[in-house]
Chains A and B, each alone.
Chain A
């Protein structure tokens, strides 16, 4: 009914469904696009194809158990999601996390951010029609996956952060491998610039496309690189530092144009910033415990607890309401992808249909993060 209504509002308008693909695929989204010729009049995202009700599931899991399920939301920033949950539980229990665990957590977060941005870079180039960069990106990401596999035991859904610290100590090879990777990857970012960033055809497709003003981006609730590309400072690592980010010396890169190219450049600059954070920490991992001593059964006191972290896509919030029992009364996750998607309609209006996929690419959407 809804579709017919849109279709018949004006003579000559065309309604196109982009997606959904098969529900068993990993990221299924449905966009209903109203077109006039090739110009987009309206984009309407339809969600819910891979809704797994993770928030409801968490209500029946204990405070140790629910963390694993957040790896399945934004699977590219699995570490950072787990980190946010662990922080919320620690806030409730008032656990003091050992210094070593904090440094390990920040290192893992930044490696995850690099891996996520690298994958985004490959997918972004693929969205605008360049296939080879995807393989370049996967080659570099594989190295991070190997590092993760060695220390955390898994490549994608690590479940490495536990309340009170991390699950296991660093692998003896970790420091050497990360150093090798950072040195190797710095040369590869220059290759990325040669291949894509300086490419005039790519710039032509990105510059001035999908513009959103800072005020609009804020009102849509955008966070992360999408908002920072409009020139608004919103990095949680700077605004409310957690686990030792306040001691680090790093910049918050800001672009001001607010178009697709600014969002692209923003992420490329964040890649370099993440590498510099890893550089600062990798030689200064303090000795000590990797996990604080916690009780076998965790019980949060009655009350509400909120923690927020900066994932590769923006602000990720964990809101726990506890009644004092073994399981949370209610858990809510504030995922960055959902709000960034909300701005898609605003960005795409008046653009050509060929640019829609490019705009979606710069938003860096992870669909399971939107649907949860």
Chain B
């Protein structure tokens, strides 16, 4: 009986190995099912909702929608955003709080989307970039509002 068992084991082992090898052979001859991306030459277009980094939207007149309300700064779990405000003189002589600098620390950001959710005026959004490495970490601290930009009219 030992001999019969022995032969059976050898047979089932060989069979299972060969069926595995057959599958491997199938992929060897079917290159189309291999999904290698030639990365630096072929770049993927990321999904529309992909969270790459926070950017501020500006229109063609170089106007943004940020009122400097600091809702995003409060919503951020990692102190990634720092908003510096200034007092701006209105035409009617009153002073009004306005955005001076929107500082964004990419090195601290975890792309959790909470700031975008908190923004009442849709001033910031997530960009679909993904190549963030730089040689100097200071370059990761960004100023999001473009130089000379103003608050869009009608945004409160």
Contact = CB atoms under 8 A, between A and B. Distances in A.
Contacts of B77: 61, 65-66, 68-69
B85 interface: no
A180 interface: no
B19 A194 contact: yes
Given A66-B77, A200-B12, A200-B13, A153 B51 contact: yes
B49 A151 contact: yes
- Interface size class, chain A: 20 to 34
A153 B128 CA distance: 9
A246 interface: no
A68 B111 CA distance: 9
A168 interface: yes
B119 to A, nearest CB: 12
Contact of B17 (A132, A142, A171, A199): A199
Given A150-B49, A157-B110, A159-B113, A139 B16 contact: no
B51 A195 contact: no
Contacts of B12: 200
A44 interface: no
A155 to B, nearest CB: 9
B9 A65 contact: no
A205 to B, nearest CB: 13
Interface in A160-218: 162, 167-168, 171, 191, 194-196, 198-201
A198 B49 contact: no
B111 A65 contact: no
A64 interface: yes
Contacts of A201: 13, 16-17
B45 to A, nearest CB: 11
- Interface size class, chain B: 20 to 34
Contact of B110 (A68, A149, A171, A199): A68
A150 B46 CA distance: 9
Contact of A198 (B19, B51, B75): B19
Contacts of A367: none
A16 interface: no
Contact of A65 (B13, B17, B75): B75
A171 B49 CA distance: 9
A264 B77 CA distance: 39
A154 B35 contact: no
Interface string B8-45: 01001100110110011000000000010000000000
A168 B49 contact: yes
Given A132-B24, A194-B19, A200-B13, A149 B114 contact: no
Contacts of B48: 150
Nearest to A136: B27
Nearest to A64: B114
Contacts of A150: 47-49
B114 to A, nearest CB: 7
B155 interface: no
Which 4 pairs from chain A and chain B are nearest by CB? A65-B77, A68-B112, A153-B49, A200-B13
16 contacts: A66-B77, A68-B77, A150-B47, A150-B49, A153-B50, A153-B126, A154-B51, A154-B111, A157-B111, A157-B112, A159-B114, A194-B23, A195-B20, A196-B20, A199-B16, A200-B12
